[in-house]
């Protein structure tokens, strides 16, 4: 996949299109971002590679609260999210994008169900218009591209401020105590063929949240108000210490086209104008 390719949003009521022509055979299950997914995902991928239709293999794994059905089961004119909410079935195409989406349903069933409820509720409230609206838009960003992070205040503050060298070099020893959970299936699709500029959206997990309670906590944390405020923080994901051999060279972080400074909007004339990440 060439740098610059990303999510292909085909319309307000459509799902995101896959961004890669690679297949399940290209997945490197030893990659650190797949460490939590391998035990469940690799056997399913092997079954699909052996000829089993992907929706069938995913459903028969029995790891998800929803079933996976062929894409043709989605009626013309019905929104993808609305169909899932009504039927408890996920229209699924062959290939990486929908495969990783299904694995996310298996690892975060409560959070994925919560996202679907929010999206379906927004569709019921506002219909499928030309603009998704702030809640649906943020839910889609989270679903496709989120990386959950549990780290110290010092590392989080540096990441939020785009003080990349401080966060990823000066405080590198603190990443041994930082926990990361992959979530966004579009980001995972891109990482099958990694390139330096792949950027995820960080969502912070408090230190008090235990890993076994993560899914339940996340389902409660995904509120319309919080999503609409878009509390994401971007991170070029191959900069994570230990996730990519090239970042052992400090010069890796000098690429300002990837590790960009935080840009602040000009102060508006309105007294309530606030600074935002662009």
Question: Cβ neighbours of residue 262 under 8 Å, at least 6 residues apart?
Answer: 161, 162, 277
199 within 8 A of 237, measured Cβ to Cβ: yes
pLDDT at 1: 32
Average pLDDT, whole number, for the chain?
Answer: 89
Q: Per-residue pLDDT tens for 212-262?
A: 999 999 999 999 999 999 999 999 999 999 999 999 999 999 999 999 998
Whether the predicted pLDDT of 132 surpasses 80 = no
48 within 8 A of 57, measured Cβ to Cβ: yes
pLDDT at 130: 53
Write down the pTM of the prediction.
0.87
Separation CA 237–CA 244 (nearest Å):
9
pLDDT at 8: 40
Strands 199-204 and 146-150, sheet pairing: parallel
Length of the chain: 278
Q: Per-residue pLDDT tens for 92-112?
A: 999 999 999 999 999 999 999
Whether the predicted pLDDT of 275 surpasses 80 = no
Degrees to nearest 5, angle at CA 36 with 33 and 41: 95
Side-by-side strand order, sheet with 179-182? 179-182, 146-150, 199-204, 233-236
Q: Per-residue pLDDT tens for 42-81?
A: 999 999 999 999 999 999 999 999 999 999 999 998 999 9
Domain map (residue ranges) of the chain: 31-133, 141-254
pLDDT band at residue 133 using 50, 70 and 90 as cut-offs: confident
Rounded average pLDDT over 20-24: 83
pLDDT at 273: 38
């Amino acid at each position: 996949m060439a740098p610059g390719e990303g999510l292909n949003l085909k319309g307000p009521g459509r799902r995101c299109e896959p961004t890669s022509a690679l297949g399940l055979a290209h997945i490197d299950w030893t990659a650190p971002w797949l460490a939590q997914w391998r035990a469940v995902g690799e056997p399913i991928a092997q079954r699909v590679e052996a000829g089993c239709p992907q929706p069938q293999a995913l459903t028969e794994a029995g790891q998800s609260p929803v079933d996976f059905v062929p894409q043709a089961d989605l009626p013309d004119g019905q929104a993808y999210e609305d169909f899932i909410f009504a039927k408890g079935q996920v229209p699924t195409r062959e290939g990486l994008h929908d495969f990783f989406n299904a694995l996310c349903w298996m690892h975060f069933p409560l959070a994925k169900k919560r996202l679907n409820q929010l999206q379906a509720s927004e569709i019921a409230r506002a219909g499928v218009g030309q603009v998704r609206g702030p809640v649906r838009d943020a839910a889609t960003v989270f679903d496709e591209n989120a990386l959950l992070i549990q780290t110290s205040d010092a590392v989080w503050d540096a990441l939020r401020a785009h003080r990349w060298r401080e966060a990823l070099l000066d405080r590198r020893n603190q990443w041994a105590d930082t926990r990361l959970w992959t979530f966004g299936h579009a980001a995972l699709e891109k990482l099958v063929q990694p390139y330096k500029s792949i950027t995820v959206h960080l969502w912070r997990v408090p230190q008090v949240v235990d890993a076994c309670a993560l899914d339940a906590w996340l389902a409660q944390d995904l509120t319309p108000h919080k999503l609409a405020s878009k509390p994401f923080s971007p991170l070029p994901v191959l900069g994570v210490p230990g996730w990519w051999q090239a970042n052992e060279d400090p010069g890796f972080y000098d690429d300002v086209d990837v590790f960009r400074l935080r840009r602040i909007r000009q102060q508006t004339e309105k007294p309530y104008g606030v600074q935002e990440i662009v």
